[in-house]
Amino acid sequence: MVLGKIAGTFGVSGWVKVTSYTEPLDNILRFRTWQLGRAGDWTVACVSEGRVTAKGVLAKLEGIDTPEAARLLVGTEIGVWRRELPSPAAGEYYLSDLEGLEVVNVGGELLGKIDHFRTTPSTTVVIVRRQGRPDQWVPFVKDRIVRIDLLAGRVVLDWPADL
């Protein structure tokens, strides 16, 4: 499960700036072993220290002791094994569990299937893949989510079919 990415370097000791996709942002630091991946190639990295500052989430990885070594990791995705994640509470979901589900609107019109999610500065957006038409980007917020039914493989959104 991808939880974030390495966004930059920090300082002269090999610290990295982390873009965290977790809620709250510092939850990514709960995991002391990360999988670092780029283009499908994953390696293990151990987090020796981590903190949240005004600059965001920062981490120090074992064996990364210079800014030059840290710079080589910029753009790398940070993941953990799914089995390491806690089970979501009732009514909560991991976004990756929703990928591939059918999306319909409140009128029952098929919008498409969930391809993936994007985090923007203002909200999370669900990218709905529509056959033969451009993808639809829908804000994935409480006002738009009507129902999520994992067993039926369906998400109902309050969103028009013709946008």
List, for residues 8-48, the tens digit of each pLDDT value.
999 999 999 999 988 889 999 999 999 999 988 999 999 99
The residue extents of the domains of the chain are: 2-83, 95-157
Q: Name the pLDDT band for 111 (thresholds 50, 70, 90).
A: very high
pLDDT of residue 163: 65
Structure letter (DSSP) for residue 28:
G
Burial class (CB in 10 A: 0-12, 13-18, 19+), 27: middle
Mean pLDDT confidence for 153-160: 95
Q: Which CATH architecture has domain 95-157?
A: Roll (2.30)
Domain 2-83 has CATH 1.10.287.1400: no
The set of residues, in sequence order, having a beta carbon less than 8 Å from that of 20 and lying 6+ positions away, is 3, 4, 26, 27, 28, 56, 57
pLDDT of residue 123: 87
The answer to whether 126 and 113 are in contact (CB under 8 A) is no
Q: What does the pLDDT look like over 84-105, one tens digit per residue?
A: 988 888 888 888 899 999 999 9
